[in-house]
């Protein structure tokens, strides 16, 4: 391994400290920040992810409010759970852990989350604001990746970023974010996916490769330009072992690389906390004037993507 390591764990620790300070300030004002989670079924990786989110919340002083629903729940009962969280004043922000069992309509669920409580940034209103160039709450993994690159002095401006994967939670919003006319962004972005037969040809031309396909070992050493930055964001599981989309040997040619453990994962979780505390700070109960304003997306919250004048 010759590549330098993009250490998400230590950056996430700093972000958790910032969030803990913000949570303490809210608590001093009598506001207990609350993150809701809805888990449907017993998929072990999903259950592990949700448990980690609760542990993170406990560490930083955010209350977690959890609903664990059976895998055979009806769409109607799931929608009732969503409505309960929409109206529960303890819940400033929440998420429905994805993927849902195949019998359920994921899109209907995402559409029904109150956009002001959408900690994932996946409601069409929030995705639409990102498309318009005025994001309010950013999807956690894309935001975490940009923070991690920025903290290591890697500027995307004018560089060729190849995103592998077009999924809703990572690839698609990340491509939009990286191309925004904003400091820290301004990249030339290519998105490759299962519909692109010569994927490797595109990846070879990348200055920065972001693998977000959820296909273990998809990006191999021969596909990477020497010195390129390689971020493994997509994951899959072999039993309890977390696998990366990036083959280990890529570390021999890349300039920078995320580790399989302690790279993007902790950053995603840190951004979730940041979005949750931001929602609590800007909820109508806390601060009615700040609702739907740019305040929720400030340089204080997202230093990597400064919410200043476009460049």
Shortest separation between residue 228's beta carbon and ligand GUN, angstroms? 25
Taking the alpha carbons at both ends of the chain, their separation in whole angstroms is 37
Q: Is residue 100 part of the contact set for ligand GUN (CB under 6 A)? A: no
Interface with ligand GUN (CB under 6 A), residue from 63, 120, 147, 245: 120
Among 3, 95, 199, 273, binds ligand GUN (CB under 6 A): 95
> Does the active-site annotation cover 120?
yes
- Candidates 79, 98, 200, 242; binder of ligand GUN (CB under 6 A) is 98
Cα 74 from Cα 69, distance rounded (Å): 10
Give the sign of the dihedral formed by CA 194, CA 197, CA 203, CA 206: negative
- Residue with smallest beta-carbon separation from ligand GUN: 98
Within 10 Å of residue 246's Cβ, how many Cβ atoms? Answer: 31
Could you say which of 126, 169, 244, 283 contacts ligand GUN (CB under 6 A)? 169
Report angle CA 64, 100, 146 to the nearest 5 degrees: 65
Nearer to ligand GUN, 123 or 182 (CB): 123
From candidates 97, 150, 258, 278, binder to ligand GUN by CB under 6 A: 97
CB of 110 to ligand GUN, least distance (A): 9
Using CB under 6 A as the binding rule, whether residue 275 contacts ligand GUN is answered as: no
Find the shortest distance in angstroms from Cβ 45 to ligand GUN: 9
126 binds ligand GUN (CB under 6 A): no
Smallest gap from Cβ 260 to ligand GUN, in A, equals 17
Residue 118 lies near ligand GUN (rule: CB under 6 A) = no
- Please tell me the distance from the alpha carbon of residue 4 to that of residue 101, in angstroms, as a whole number: 39
Determine, following the binding rule CB under 6 A, whether residue 146 of this chain makes contact with ligand GUN.
no
From the list 27-35, 90-98, 126-134, 293-301, the region that binds ligand GUN by CB under 6 A is 90-98
Alpha-carbon dihedral of residues 120, 121, 124, 125, nearest 10 degrees?
Answer: 140
Question: Measured from the CB atom, is 202 or 269 closer to ligand GUN?
Answer: 269
Active-site residue, from 7, 56, 118, 120: 120
* Residue 179: closest CA among 190, 195, 194, 193: 190
Question: Can 241 be counted among the known catalytic residues?
Answer: no
With binding defined as CB under 6 A, does residue 283 bind ligand GUN? no
DSSP codes joined into one string, 226-273? TT-EEEE--EEEETTEEEESB-GGGGGT-SEE--SSSSHHHHHHHHHH
Cβ atoms 118, 58 nearer than 8 A: no
Q: Is 14 noted as a catalytic residue in this protein?
A: no
β 256-257/241-244 pair status = unpaired
| 5 contributes a contact to ligand GUN by CB under 6 A | no
Q: Where are the alpha helices (DSSP H) in 104-259?
A: 106-112, 124-132, 140-151, 171-178, 199-204
Which residues lie near ligand GUN (CB under 6 A)?
95-98, 120, 140-141, 169
- Annotated catalytic residues are 53, 97, 120
């Amino acid at each position: 391994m010759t590549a330098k390591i993009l250490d998400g764990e230590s950056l996430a620790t700093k972000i958790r400290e910032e969030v803990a300070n913000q949570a303490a300030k809210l608590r001093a004002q009598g506001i207990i920040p609350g993150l809701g989670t809805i888990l449907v079924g017993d998929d072990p990786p999903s259950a592990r992810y949700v448990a980690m989110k609760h542990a993170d919340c406990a560490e930083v002083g955010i209350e977690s409010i959890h609903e664990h629903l059976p895998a055979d729940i009806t769409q109607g009962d799931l929608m009732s759970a969503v409505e309960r969280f929409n109206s529960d004043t303890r819940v400033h922000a929440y998420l429905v852990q994805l993927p849902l069992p195949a019998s359920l309509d994921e899109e209907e669920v995402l559409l029904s989350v109150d956009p002001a409580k959408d900690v994932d940034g996946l409601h069409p209103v929030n995705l639409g604001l990102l498309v318009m160039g005025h994001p309010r709450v950013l999807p956690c993994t894309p935001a975490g990746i940009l923070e991690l690159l920025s903290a290591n002095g890697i500027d995307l401006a004018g560089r060729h970023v190849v995103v592998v994967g077009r999924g809703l939670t990572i690839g698609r919003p990340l491509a939009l974010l990286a191309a925004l006319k904003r400091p820290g962004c301004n990249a030339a972005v290519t998105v490759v996916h299962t519909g692109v037969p010569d994927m490797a040809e595109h990846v070879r031309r990348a200055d920065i490769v972001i693998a977000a396909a959820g296909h273990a070992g998809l990006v191999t050493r021969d596909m990477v330009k020497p010195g390129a930055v390689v971020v493994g964001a997509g994951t899959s599981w072999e039993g309890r072992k977390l696998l990366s989309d990036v083959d280990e040997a890529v570390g021999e040619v890349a300039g920078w690389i995320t580790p399989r453990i302690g790279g993007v994962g902790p950053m995603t979780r840190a951004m979730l906390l940041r979005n949750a505390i931001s929602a609590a700070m800007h909820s109508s109960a806390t601060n009615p004037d700040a609702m739907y304003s740019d305040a929720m997306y400030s340089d204080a919250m997202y230093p990597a993507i400064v919410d200043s004048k476009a460049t």
